Amino acid sequence: MNAIVSVLGRDKVGITAAVCVKMADYQINILDISMTVMQGNFTMIMVVDLEKMTAPFGEVVDACDALGKELGVSIRIQRQEIFDAMHEI
Amino acid sequence: MLTQKEIFATIEMIDRQHLDIRTITMGISLLSCCDADAKKACDKIYDKITRSAENLVRVGEEIEHEFGIPIVNKRISVTPMALVAAASECEDYVPFALTLDRAAKTCGVNFIGGYSALVQKGMTTADEKLIRSIPEALDRTDLVCSSVNVGSTRAGINMDAVALMGEIIKETAERTRDRDGLGCAKLVVFCNAVEDNPFMAGAFHGVGEAEKVINVGVSGPGVVHHALQSVKGAPFDVVAETVKKTAFRVTRMGQLVAQEASKRLDTPFGIVDLSLAPTPAVGDSVARILEEMGLEVCGTHGTTAALALLNDAVKKGGVMASSSVGGLSGAFIPVSEDEGMIAAAQSGVLTLDKLEAMTCVCSVGLDMIAVPGDTSAETVAAIIADEAAIGMINNKTTAVRLLPVPGKQVGDSIEMGGLLGSAPVMPVHSESSADFIARGGRIPAPLHSLRN
């Protein structure tokens, strides 16, 4: 099962590192990653594999939320199906 | 492969344009709960509902978390209670409503619908007992919703039931006077009621349905409004295409959630109701979509045409996105629940007569409209008759949810809070319809009901 991690907010040092560490903490494997910084705004999209995830999904959602607050950005993790459903026929 | 743009488009729809799943509604058949002893019947009803829907709220919240899409309501609809209670030898049906309320609270759902009777052609003794118990039932419960079907294209309009419902609405308002007649917000009078509607207050689980079923209602006026902002001044074919594409996306999300809920609850998937259901929040209004098409204020000339286009394009876009579309499907125009409608009504541009015209082309009918407290029962009944006639002749569902607010006059407004919003009290015609309503009997079904 794949999920999409999206990060949005003001750029600063260490956002990508912190998110990657959090994923590793839960044994979530990163499959793809793309990031851009435009006019100081940081956006990152990760495709991750949840197969070996060590905690319930809800706990990871809450952990991402908490990390986002700590870093001053929004971090969300959502199952990939919702994006597929909306954008693919 | 998904692009970054697509991913952020979805996130923005949820975050800024109020995209949500309005409701997951579990329909439960209570036909197996009939019993000559009313107490036993109530026990069976409570057990069946709490057993069938025990995981509904938990699963809804799990899906919400995993997909990152808000699911605003989790609800239950049941077999029209008049059919279940008919087997019991008792005069008072209120205990059945209290049982539904208790079961809904145990399950943690937002509402339970189905304190209902279907009387389009005639009333059984049980139907009449249930209808007469509605004011007390809605006064003494918090989560129970009630509906009565008084007409259909096949059967015509039962004018005795229409007259009775005028009185029942007035009595319900009076009994809930301390709450500005709030009981009436939980009472709908239908023509051509559908059996798989997931939206309240009119949801019930039809007798043609399975033992239990999952129906999902989507929403998304904000998303449509936002999409139309990018085609300002373009011809109507472009407007229609834009609405269709947006409705497709929104419905796909509903279909996904419905399938997921059906799987996790081990309950068959019924339908996705692809409705544009507004909320009082700014940016979640159907009226603002109509205004975006070029109308200064919703309710002015052109509003009916704009709504007709919107209602049709929503269906065309949504129908391909779901394996099974049903319910009411289209654009809702509740006044109190739509920020733009409230503003238009307050400005005096949107009137009851214009709303009636709009119901010829929207998905339901006159919805959440506050009228003066001294409006007579006959006038309420006549409004119901007009609306039922539109439904009967046009082969569509129409409904009336009026709030004759005790002690309030035109110019006042009422606050109901939450999704029910606030409503300015709108004027009705003061000339009497009493002799018309006093005739009773049945308005025959139209010629086009003979289709076999």
The complex's ipTM works out to 0.89
Contacts of A31 in chain B (CB under 8 A): none
Domains of chain B: 27-191 (3.20.70.20), 215-442 (3.20.70.20)
Strand partners of residue B164: none
Closest-CA residue of B relative to A80 is: B67
Distance CA B433, CA B267 (A): 47
pLDDT at residue B174, rounded to an integer: 97
Token readout for B84 is 């279940």
Is B264 exposed, middle or buried, given 0-12, 13-18 or 19+ CB atoms closer than 10 A?
Answer: middle
Contacts of B251 in chain A (CB under 8 A): none
* Mean per-residue pLDDT over chain B, rounded: 95
Closest-CA residue of B relative to A36 is: B4
pLDDT at residue B451, rounded to an integer: 87
Closest CA to B364 of B400, B339, B325: B400
Distance CA B380, CA B358 (A): 18
pLDDT, tens digit (0-9, with 9 covering 90-100), for B324-360: 999 999 899 999 999 999 999 999 999 999 999 999 9
Residue B169, pLDDT above cutoff 90: yes
Distances (CA, A) of B445 to A9, B13, B191, B221: 61, 44, 12, 35
**What CATH number has the domain bearing residue A80?**
3.30.70.260
pLDDT at residue B440, rounded to an integer: 96
Distance CA B225, CA B230 (A): 9
Shortest distance between the Cα of A50 and any Cα of chain B, in A, equals 12
Q: Is B263 on the interface with A (CB under 8 A)?
A: no
What is the average per-residue pLDDT within B138-156?
A: 97
Shortest distance between the Cα of B24 and any Cα of chain A, in A, equals 17
Please identify among residues 3-22 of chain B the ones whose CB lies closer than 8 Å to any CB of chain A: 4, 6-11
B216 pLDDT tier (thresholds 50, 70, 90): very high
Sequential DSSP letters for B221-263: HHHHHHHHHTTTT--HHHHHHHHHHHHHHHHHHHHHHHHHHHH
Structural contact between residues B296 and B240, judged by C-beta atoms closer than 8 angstroms: no
Least confident of B10-24, B82-96, B251-265: B10-24
Distances (CA, A) of B426 to A31, B145, B169, B290, B355: 58, 24, 17, 21, 11
Token readout for B76 is 């239950």
Measured between its terminal Cα atoms, the distance across chain B in Å is: 50
Residue B46 has phi, psi (to 5 degrees) of -60, -45
Q: Which of B4, B69, B249 sits opposite A34 (nearest CB)?
A: B4
Q: Is B67 on the interface with A (CB under 8 A)?
A: yes
H-helix or E-strand spanning residue B21: strand B21-28
pLDDT, tens digit (0-9, with 9 covering 90-100), for A18-51: 999 999 999 999 999 999 998 888 999 999 999 9
Distance CA B445, CA B309 (A): 28
* Percentage with pLDDT > 90 across chain B: 90
Domain count, chain A: 1
H-helix or E-strand spanning residue B134: helix B125-140
B305 pLDDT tier (thresholds 50, 70, 90): very high
Q: Which domain holds residue A56?
A: 2-87
Distance CA A19, CA A71 (A): 10
Closest CA to B332 of B300, B307, B353: B307
pLDDT, tens digit (0-9, with 9 covering 90-100), for B369-417: 999 999 999 999 999 999 999 999 999 999 999 999 999 999 999 998 8
Q: How many CA atoms lie within 13 A of B360 on its CB side?
A: 12
Please enumerate in sequence order all residues whose Cβ is within 8 A of that of A24, keeping only pairs 6 or more positions apart, or say none: none
pLDDT at residue B356, rounded to an integer: 97
Q: Which of B8, B66, B255 sits opposite A79 (nearest CB)?
A: B66
Q: Number of Cβ pairs closer than 8 Å across A and B?
A: 60
Please identify among residues 43-62 of chain A the ones whose CB lies closer than 8 Å to any CB of chain B: 43, 45, 57-58, 61
Contact A81 B4 (CB under 8 A): no
Contacts of A58 in chain B (CB under 8 A): 62, 65-66
Distance CA B45, CA B42 (A): 5
